[in-house]
Structure 1
Amino acid sequence: MDLDKALYSINDHGRGQLFILFLISCMGQLPASWHIFAIVFLGIVPDHFCTTDNSEYDLDDWTTAVSPHEYSQCTHENGSESCDSWTYAHDVTGSTIVSEWNLVCDRASFLELSQTALIIGVTIGSVTFGFLADRFGRKRVFFMSLFVQGLLGCIEASVSSIEVFIIVRLFIGIVDQGYELPTYTMVSEFFTPRCRPYAFPCIFIAWATGIMTLPLLAYFIRDWRYLQLAISIPLLFFPLFYWFVPESPRWLLSVGREEEARAVLRRIAKCNGRPNAVIDFSDEPETLKMKTVEADTGDTGLKQQNNSYREINTFEEEVETDVRDDVKDSKLGQASYLDLFRGWQMTKVTVILFIIWLVSSVSYYGLTFHAGQLVGDMYVNFFLSGAVEIPSILLLMVLVVRFGRRVPLSVFFVIAGIACFVTAFIPKTTANGGDLTAAIVTSAMIGKFSVTVSYQIICLCATEIFPTVVRNKGIGFVALSARIGAILAPFTTAMEDHIAKFPMILFGSVSLVPCLLVFLLPEMKGRQQPQTITDLEQIFEECKHSKKQRLRNTDEA
């Protein structure tokens, strides 16, 4: 069935779709970025020193009177006894989980562990909710997950130990994918190939807005419990919009609920000012449209009529066979993760997207977490790391329409790699003592800008390439690699304490890996999303024939 034709008939970029896009993007991305990156501010490590009964220093003059060597932070003044209590500089950072539960010295690993637990949860959720969204629909899973994560966030704000905090973050990560994955899928399924490059970046604008607003909230809310409540309570009210967001019509069609899909499009058509639009899902080829044969009493006329009937009847039988195969191929409830490796082309898409998404994730999350460790004000740097994504998103709209998906993806991976290498080798000061903070931050933001463009394009590619029958499962599976990258990111940034420049060198190196891999994927510019795995294989064949035709034309020229 051809949903895109029906979307064109009701106006594929009308007010109805734009309203749905706004709601899905805001609800599905703002809270996701808040919870993913909240640990940067929940777990700020304040200035601190080991508390002793006869300490002659207080915290206000400690940093100037005493060099902050390791012995003064983790051991008593004699250096032989481990410290069991600390004094923290609450006046700068406020109350954090570090100062409340003493996550310093030998307990510092709990901080990285809390973020690792969240990402492990996200990994579990990407598989679990990928299946659930394909089985029960995008809308139900989307709103249920938002409400549950709001509850979990409020519970996290009231826990009394780091161990319980880590457990709750694990479940927050699991539920995160229940609304984040359907966000990508629903936006891609509500729009035609012509509008998708413009609609999809709106998701990333909402994500970037979340990154930009988080440091603003953290700056004014200097208590980690209240900050956690501030990013969790809004989710409890999002289910009120349940009746304003319809189920994906593409999913409804894929499970055979044609009338419900038609009703959804009628509502959108009414919003778009086209209440009388004809909603036709038929993709019936012109050959099937039997032309009226004028009556002829002669034998020749009867013979011609009979031949015409037999020809059409034979063609209809062939089409019915193909349709039966496609229906068998497209039953969402029966599709499994094994179908992602069904056939060479499907396997190639899954493996390549897995690798590219892993590389993108390591660089993207690593650079974002590393923003808080750059020289300068951490709140400003983190805000800039989100702000730099906005122009990259606007640029994305132009690039994917003009140049497709593969070429921009490859080019910006190269730029990101070079920018990270440059950042790694810029000294903090010149030989004459000049401050190079601005140069370091600028170079790092160019890297973040380029990685963001690449990350957004690969997300768009995944929603376009995976067939509808396994789209959520496919996105969920390749998102596993993104979660692996997100798990590694906090540890790579922490390695800078042991190996100077290591994070930026690593991010630069891995960014160069996908530059050629992307050209093994089909170019999806202007193409309809495949409904079945058979459709995907046909796209590869079309790309192959197009390439041969271009080579033939070049030889002739």
Structure 2
Amino acid sequence: MESNGGPNDNTVSKDTNTDIKKDDDKMVNAIGALGRWQIILCVTIAVPTKISAAWQQLGIVFVAPATSFQCTETNLTDSIQPATCYRDCAKYEYFTEFENTIISEWDLVCERAWMANFTQMLCMAGVLIGSVVFGFIADRYGRRPALLISCLLQLVTTFIEPFSTSYWMFAITRFFIGTTVAGVLLCTYSLMMEITGPRKRELMGWLCTVPYPLGQVLMPLFAYYLRSWNKFCLGIAIPNLFYLVYYFALPESPKWLIAQGRLEDAGKVMTQAAQWNNRPTENMVDVAKSIASENVDTKESQQDKANYMDLFGTRRLAINTVCSCTIWFILGISFFGSNQYIGQTSSNPFVTVALAGVLQISGITLTAFLCKVIGRKATMISAFVVCAVSNACLAVPPEWYYVRLVMGIIGVGCAAGAFASMYMYTSELFPTVTRNMAMGASSTISRVGSMLAPYVAGLTTVALWLPPAAFAVVPVLGALTCLFLPETKGKKLADHVA
């Protein structure tokens, strides 16, 4: 019987049967590899959370933009120079295309200039902490509670931010916003990967990753029409009210429920999924029991207290953990290195931010296609090699403007594509009971890399060629690290450490 609306059920069934023949994934056989249920969840959960995450994490560009200043009240009788600090200055005048920024709001210039960048550092520190905390919560207590907590916290903190009455209130709020960004990014991705069949994960990975750069493309529209920092923050906070719907609509991952032995609950979620995908709904609890019995022995199936030490539970997992963290660290440095040049190609922040988002969408789309065709491992190695060559070309003389522009564009696309591919690769390298902890640990190491990257970029004080050389060598190390990882293309997701 054909379905009225939604994805083509015959196609889903055909793909699913191929999956089962190859991987014996009974859950995919029961609910469908990628049907109307998965698409609706992706559109209502992955897309809004990823777009909002981009706004919250990157919005500092428009909250604290480059701002010129000049002292207007001083005891000096000589002419006052612009962008010059005077010890007895009582008042500054600011020149920017925005009505008001946090720089002009709290006089973040001269001896207080460091405080503008410190807010973004706190946000990244929040992402680092949130990756660990929400990764643990998601694996210990479930994807649904972890995602609900992070979404609710983001809703509250983003509405507090525009009404901050002091700099430190704003800065501390940015820290908590950073923790929520980590939670929604990690938990959403794991949930969507766990309800998608092996042969459809590349497409789902693309659907889950593209909304982030799409949010980066849309963000300048808010900034263009809301040119005050508090109006802008309020504007990008209002869409988060949609998160309230998740309390009623967000399901738990059936794979996580089965891994925890909650077979009745898993059967209910699988029944709902089968109904939406127009598949048979009978005996879903029996299917869950069958999956649980085939995963591991009875003792292992009771493992519901997984912790970060389980990431080293076997030799294979230990290798995967070390390599994954290393690659994410390298991506943190490489992504910043590629963006270093693109961020300097235009003095117009609206155009620059939107352009960077478009370039990332292109890179993510290309690597998603390559993951489907040649596999995760070869795609990661290829992206790293091209990124290395592109970054090395940035060492050419400044007069070769177009060469540097093209190489910078290619570097940004490859770095973004490699990041997107590694999200999917990492989710496939680890079992259900430790998947979010693995992604959280890897993401944490990535933030350390991104924090170190500015110091690498600062090597221009030693020699102009040093930063491009460093940003070229680092991706090569990433490509070599990939050689130690197994290929996961088309493989069923493991549930337990064993």
Within the candidate set 227, 246, 250, 1:222 is matched to 227
Q: How does 1:279-298 map to 2 (within 5 A)?
A: 279=284, 280-281=287-288
Equivalent in the alignment of 1:75: 85
Q: Higher mean Cα deviation, 215-224 or 233-242?
A: 233-242
* Distance in 2 (alpha carbons) for counterparts of 1:473 and 1:498: 39
Equivalent in the alignment of 1:205: 210
1:232 aligns with 2:196: no
* Distance in 2 (alpha carbons) for counterparts of 1:465 and 1:418: 28
Q: How does 1:210-359 map to 2 (within 5 A)?
A: 210-276=215-281, 279=284, 280-281=287-288, 323-328=297-302, 331-332=303-304, 334-359=305-330
- State the SS of the aligned residue for 1:93: coil
Equivalent in the alignment of 2:421: 457
Change in CA separation of 1:426 and 1:325 when aligned onto 2, cut-off 3 Å: farther
Supply the AA of the counterpart residue of 1:193.
P
- State the SS of the aligned residue for 2:198: coil
Displacement of 1:143 after TM fit?
2.2
Within the candidate set 371, 377, 381, 1:400 is matched to 371
* Aligned residues of 2:365 and 2:417 also touching (Cα < 8 A): no
Q: For structure 2, list consecutive stretches of 5 or more residues without a partner in the other structure.
A: 1-22
* Distance in 2 (alpha carbons) for counterparts of 1:25 and 1:208: 13
* Distance in 2 (alpha carbons) for counterparts of 1:500 and 1:105: 27
* Distance in 2 (alpha carbons) for counterparts of 1:531 and 1:320: 10
Supply the AA of the counterpart residue of 2:433.
V
Change in CA separation of 1:72 and 1:6 when aligned onto 2, cut-off 3 Å: closer
Within the candidate set 149, 155, 162, 1:144 is matched to 149
Displacement of 1:278 after TM fit?
5.9
1:386 aligns with 2:360: no
Supply the AA of the counterpart residue of 2:447.
R
* Distance in 2 (alpha carbons) for counterparts of 1:383 and 1:30: 13
1:118 aligns with 2:123: yes
Displacement of 1:494 after TM fit?
6.9
Supply the AA of the counterpart residue of 1:73.
A
Within the candidate set 10, 29, 37, 1:16 is matched to 37
Change in CA separation of 1:373 and 1:14 when aligned onto 2, cut-off 3 Å: same
Q: Percent identity?
A: 30
1:130 aligns with 2:135: yes
Change in CA separation of 1:497 and 1:525 when aligned onto 2, cut-off 3 Å: same
* Aligned residues of 1:188 and 1:463 also touching (Cα < 8 A): yes
* Aligned residues of 2:140 and 2:306 also touching (Cα < 8 A): no
* Distance in 2 (alpha carbons) for counterparts of 1:43 and 1:501: 30
Displacement of 1:491 after TM fit?
5.7
Supply the AA of the counterpart residue of 2:300.
D
1:156 aligns with 2:166: no
Displacement of 1:15 after TM fit?
0.8
Within the candidate set 433, 436, 454, 1:472 is matched to 436
Q: How does 1:366-381 map to 2 (within 5 A)?
A: 366-368=337-339, 371-381=342-352
* Distance in 2 (alpha carbons) for counterparts of 1:132 and 1:384: 36
* Distance in 1 (alpha carbons) for counterparts of 2:295 and 2:354: 57
Within the candidate set 66, 80, 87, 2:93 is matched to 87
* Distance in 1 (alpha carbons) for counterparts of 2:126 and 2:46: 22
- State the SS of the aligned residue for 2:394: helix
* Aligned residues of 2:429 and 2:488 also touching (Cα < 8 A): yes
* Aligned residues of 1:146 and 1:236 also touching (Cα < 8 A): no
Change in CA separation of 1:283 and 1:461 when aligned onto 2, cut-off 3 Å: same
Displacement of 1:208 after TM fit?
1.1
* Aligned residues of 1:423 and 1:440 also touching (Cα < 8 A): yes
Supply the AA of the counterpart residue of 1:231.
I
Change in CA separation of 1:142 and 1:367 when aligned onto 2, cut-off 3 Å: same
1:179 aligns with 2:184: yes
* Distance in 2 (alpha carbons) for counterparts of 1:99 and 1:456: 37
* Distance in 2 (alpha carbons) for counterparts of 1:102 and 1:369: 27
TM-score, normalised on structure 2? Answer: 0.87
Supply the AA of the counterpart residue of 1:98.
I
* Distance in 2 (alpha carbons) for counterparts of 1:491 and 1:231: 31
Equivalent in the alignment of 1:33: 54
* Aligned residues of 2:332 and 2:450 also touching (Cα < 8 A): yes
Deviations along 1:499-522, one digit per CA (max 9) or x if unpaired, are 757654443332221111101011
- State the SS of the aligned residue for 2:93: strand
* Distance in 1 (alpha carbons) for counterparts of 2:294 and 2:273: 31
1:106 aligns with 2:116: no
* Distance in 2 (alpha carbons) for counterparts of 1:85 and 1:519: 58
Equivalent in the alignment of 2:390: 419
* Aligned residues of 1:28 and 1:180 also touching (Cα < 8 A): yes
* Distance in 1 (alpha carbons) for counterparts of 2:201 and 2:298: 29
Equivalent in the alignment of 1:547: none
Change in CA separation of 1:426 and 1:393 when aligned onto 2, cut-off 3 Å: same
Supply the AA of the counterpart residue of 1:449.
G
* Distance in 2 (alpha carbons) for counterparts of 1:349 and 1:531: 16
Change in CA separation of 1:136 and 1:88 when aligned onto 2, cut-off 3 Å: same
Displacement of 1:404 after TM fit?
0.7
Supply the AA of the counterpart residue of 2:93.
T
* Aligned residues of 1:40 and 1:372 also touching (Cα < 8 A): no
* Distance in 1 (alpha carbons) for counterparts of 2:460 and 2:53: 27
* Aligned residues of 1:375 and 1:441 also touching (Cα < 8 A): no
* Distance in 1 (alpha carbons) for counterparts of 2:183 and 2:295: 37
Computing the radius of gyration from Cα coordinates, the structure with the larger value is: 1
Displacement of 1:397 after TM fit?
2.7
* Aligned residues of 1:368 and 1:382 also touching (Cα < 8 A): no
Deviations along 1:132-169, one digit per CA (max 9) or x if unpaired, are 11222111221232121121122121112222222111
* Distance in 2 (alpha carbons) for counterparts of 1:152 and 1:360: 29
Change in CA separation of 1:522 and 1:456 when aligned onto 2, cut-off 3 Å: same
* Aligned residues of 1:369 and 1:489 also touching (Cα < 8 A): no
Equivalent in the alignment of 2:480: 516
* Distance in 1 (alpha carbons) for counterparts of 2:88 and 2:458: 23
Change in CA separation of 1:517 and 1:221 when aligned onto 2, cut-off 3 Å: same
- State the SS of the aligned residue for 1:157: helix
Change in CA separation of 1:444 and 1:471 when aligned onto 2, cut-off 3 Å: same
Displacement of 1:321 after TM fit?
12
Q: Could you list the structure 1 runs, at least 4 aligned residues long, displaced by more than 6 angstroms after superposition.
A: 54-58, 494-499
Change in CA separation of 1:101 and 1:366 when aligned onto 2, cut-off 3 Å: farther
